[in-house]
Amino acid sequence: MRDWELRIHFEKVLRKLDVIDAKVSAMPQVQVQVSNKFLPTVNALCKLARAASASEVAQITGRSRATESAVLNELVGRGLVVKSKQGRRKVFSLKEENYEGQTVDSRGRK
């Protein structure tokens, strides 16, 4: 390949990167503020990146299963987490919706 051919290919790649960058910049930013009570649980669910039981979440957070179960059920009640059954097990996963600008604190307010 000659120099001028390489420059043409390089310019095409740069144009495509500019288009990708513009698309990424136009995407909405999702921001959820979570209180200290809920933060370890939400981080654990993000880290697992799948539906998990309260026991699995408790292993990551270092808290008791009962505490995690209570926190997860509270997050279900607030609409941030989805609860489902897999056989006899109850599993929790984060909702896939945007919660832009939403605040969740431990006093029961959104």
C-alpha distances in angstroms, 40 versus 21, 37, 72, 96? Answer: 32, 7, 11, 19
**Region 87-102 average pLDDT:** 75
The string of pLDDT tens digits covering residues 57-92 is 999 999 999 999 999 999 999 888 999 999 999 999
Fold adopted by 32-104: Arc Repressor Mutant, subunit A (1.10.10)
Q: b/e map of 74-88 (b: 16 or more CB within 10 Å)? A: bbeeeebbeeeeeee
Beta bridge partners of 90: 85
Assign 98 a pLDDT band (cuts: 50, 70, 90): very low
